[in-house]
Structure 1
Amino acid sequence: MAAISSHALTLCVIEARPSVLAVSAMRYLTGVALALPAATVAVPLPRVAQGTAAWVLSILAVYLYNGVTDVTEDRINASGRPIARGELETRTAAAVAAGAGCLALLATWGLPSPMFGIVAANLALGYLYSGPPSPLKDSSGGTVAVLCLSGLLSYLAGFTVATGGGGVALPAALVLFAGVAIGWMVLVGMPAKDLSDITGDTAAGRRTLGVLLGDRVSRQVTVGAAVVLLAGFAMAVSLTHVPLTGVVLALAAGVVAVAVAALSAAPRPGDDGRRRTRRPYRAFMGTQHLLHLTAFLSPI
């Protein structure tokens, strides 16, 4: 097979969404940071960096393969990503996804032994989500299951590297943060993402939340879930006294941003509305970055 050009590799990274790759790295690093109080020895920075590479490569493989399998609905939804635009061949993207998956497994060499299983499990989830014969992405329940499990694996990866592979209890701050971050992905991110993809998902026969509930109800669900999640997390932090007050404030700002975006995202006659309906998802994603950055800095 001919060598894959640097331009094609760049397009593959774009297809896998740099913002997703960035927040995936932040999830892993937040797992490391919040696990440090439980670590019995100092964690070498090269080991942390190696774990970051292994985890992000697995996410690259998963999202790139998802782009290969989503090409039909992405084109209907007028996605601007390279495969949907016809700028990146699906065969090339699939080859890079397979290579990234292999490199992710190889990158666990020398890390605590559970990391190989964690990365392999994430790759398996990615295939089950997008691949034949019955991709889990076609149903809301399957999507929720994959998001929850992959999210848990990201924080577990950071904890594993920070603590050398186990033998210590999970810190309460890590447990609480992982819970709210996964809740934010599932309860807010999933309906927010569906808003701009309802037409293509319907054409592809997918039973996402947006398809099942419609635009207006999906936007209301997004806002309601964000408010309930904030209230529950604030109460949990208050009762347990974990040092995550900054995360509560960051989440409150994100809830306001998502609410404003969702309530102003209704399609208008004569307008394809994609830019507008993407606003809640962009607010959700920006909040994800803010939450993890705040939590990462909290042990300092």
Structure 2
Amino acid sequence: MLQMHSSSSFSLKYHPLQKAGSIKTLESPVTHIHGVLNRSQEKKYAIKCSQSNSFYNLTNKIASSRNCKPFNSHRAPVTLQDGYASKSEDDDNSNSFLNVFLKKFHALYRFMRAYACAGVIIATTSNSLLPVQTLADLTPAYFTGLLEALVPAVLMHIYVVAINQLSDVEVDKVNKPYLPLASGEISIGTGIAVTLASALMSLAYAFMIRSPPFIWAVIAWIFVGTAYSVQLPLLRWKGNSFLAAFCMVSLNGLLTQFPVYVHIQKYVLGRPLEIFTRPLMFATAFISCFCVVIAFIKDLHDVDGDKKFGIKTLSVMLGKERVFRLSVSMLSIAYGAAVVVGASSPLLANKLITIIGHCILASIFWLRVRAVDLSDNASILSFYMFIWKLYYAEYLLIPFVR
């Protein structure tokens, strides 16, 4: 009898003079749990003896996972005393909690499209540079004003993507089943909480910094973002290609550029408000065209689900090929216009940067267009994400248009 614990033991039917090579039976432990004898897990295993006169060799084989796998695979955590779990059980619980937490955090990260927040930060920073005339304008007050602009911009980005996913749960189960709400990784209640919190926090922050352009911008963001997604009378504008394009231009163009420009120009730098400046006009025109292209290409991937739910987008009405060619033509014209505007700049450095930069982006765009397979949704989705990269890359060139 080998004693392992005060409340459990096992018996070994083995004779010290057992011959080598013979087969003997090992019975699993009889366990006492809080005074109750448990034989429900009692099993018998056959063990081959390798020595005819070594009891200790056999017990060592029983303890080794390499030589006695059946016994090792059925062992259970040992209770040290009542009310206390073993150290390995505590480690398992902590690892399980950490894994669940990380899984939920990753789902929330995808729900808020946090990866796109980097693009929002780039766009807001670029727009805040439009009123800057010299390096002397880059004062601590300017950077404070930039931080004030970044907070509502990021929060409203979260609101727009959150309410869109909440309104499209059933559609996304067909078009994008990998999204957190469509897959069930995030509950509807959590999605509603994130949506309301982002809207209320952005509005409260705009009033806190006392910036009229951002107060009105946040109100407009909430209205347009809601009208784009929510299924209510006269709303759900995403079902109409032209209204959807208007929403994209408003959310990613006008409501991103003008509030930031006015906030920095008037309330940070303290200068008279000038709207019709060369940098602002170019940024507004180019980004508006880009947003229309994004709105058209976005629907190419969702044709199947849109047809099923009666959403008449331009891609459903005209077909994928026509909408794709239209989008490519529009963006090509925009790049050509950007090169012309850059060539007319009186500053040599700005002229070179804008011409070379837009030629490089246009060349990459045309090469990528040739690789698109419209019969493959994965290829269309990859191209759509590539267009977003070009969109944010453009914000790196816009401040050089003078």
What is the identity, as a one-letter code, of the residue corresponding to 1:181?
I
**Over residues 8-51 of structure 1, what are the superposed CA-to-partner deviations in whole Å (9 max), with x where a residue is unaligned?**
56534422323433222222221111122299894332231122
Which of residues 335, 338, 350 in structure 2 aligns to 1:233?
A: 338
Q: Is the 8 A contact 1:250 1:290 kept in 2?
A: no
What is the identity, as a one-letter code, of the residue corresponding to 1:90?
I
Could you say which residue in structure 1 is the equivalent of 2:237? Answer: 136
Q: Residue 35 of structure 1 aligns to a residue in which SS?
A: coil
Structure 2 Cα separation of the partners of residues 206 and 58 of structure 1: 25
Which of residues 163, 166, 180 in structure 1 aligns to 2:265?
A: 163
Which of residues 146, 156, 170 in structure 2 aligns to 1:72?
A: 170
Which of residues 325, 328, 332 in structure 2 aligns to 1:223?
A: 328
User: Higher strand fraction: Structure 1 or Structure 2?
Assistant: 2
Q: Residue 114 of structure 1 aligns to a residue in which SS?
A: helix
Structure 2 Cα separation of the partners of residues 145 and 103 of structure 1: 25
Which of residues 148, 165, 170 in structure 2 aligns to 1:50?
A: 148
Structure 1 Cα separation of the partners of residues 215 and 124 of structure 2: 15
Q: Is the 8 A contact 2:237 2:244 kept in 1?
A: yes
Instruction: Give the TM-score normalised by structure 1.
Output: 0.86
Equivalent residues in 2 for 1:249-260, closer than 5 Å: 249-260=356-367
Number of aligned pairs? 290
Q: CA deviation at 1:96?
A: 0.8
Equivalent residues in 2 for 1:4-83, closer than 5 Å: 11-37=107-133, 42=139, 43-83=141-181
Structure 1 unpaired stretches of 5+:
none
**Over residues 184-241 of structure 1, what are the superposed CA-to-partner deviations in whole Å (9 max), with x where a residue is unaligned?**
121x212222221111122222122221221222221222111111122222333465
What is the identity, as a one-letter code, of the residue corresponding to 1:37?
Q
Instruction: Determine whether 1:197 maps to 2:293.
Output: no
Instruction: Determine whether 1:110 maps to 2:209.
Output: yes
Give the structure with higher Rg (CA): 2
Q: CA deviation at 1:244?
A: 6.4
Q: CA deviation at 1:245?
A: 5.2
Could you say which residue in structure 1 is the equivalent of 2:377? Answer: 274
Structure 1 Cα separation of the partners of residues 123 and 356 of structure 2: 19
User: Higher helix fraction: Structure 1 or Structure 2?
Assistant: 1
Q: Residue 199 of structure 1 aligns to a residue in which SS?
A: helix
Could you say which residue in structure 2 is the equivalent of 1:147? Answer: 248
With over 3 angstroms needed to count, the CA separation of the structure-2 counterparts of 1:206 and 1:16, relative to structure 1, is farther
Q: CA deviation at 1:177?
A: 1.7
Instruction: Determine whether 1:211 maps to 2:309.
Output: no
Structure 1 Cα separation of the partners of residues 177 and 362 of structure 2: 26
Structure 1 Cα separation of the partners of residues 362 and 299 of structure 2: 18
Could you say which residue in structure 2 is the equivalent of 1:180? Answer: 286
Could you say which residue in structure 1 is the equivalent of 2:51? Answer: none
Could you say which residue in structure 1 is the equivalent of 2:223? Answer: 124
With over 3 angstroms needed to count, the CA separation of the structure-2 counterparts of 1:96 and 1:208, relative to structure 1, is same
Structure 2 Cα separation of the partners of residues 160 and 284 of structure 1: 28
Instruction: Give the TM-score normalised by structure 2.
Output: 0.65
Q: CA deviation at 1:7?
A: 6.4
With over 3 angstroms needed to count, the CA separation of the structure-2 counterparts of 1:121 and 1:245, relative to structure 1, is farther
Q: CA deviation at 1:142?
A: 0.9
Structure 1 Cα separation of the partners of residues 396 and 341 of structure 2: 20
Shifted more, 12-21 versus 38-47: the winner is 38-47
Q: Is the 8 A contact 2:123 2:392 kept in 1?
A: no
Q: Identity percentage over the alignment?
A: 17
Q: Is the 8 A contact 2:132 2:138 kept in 1?
A: no
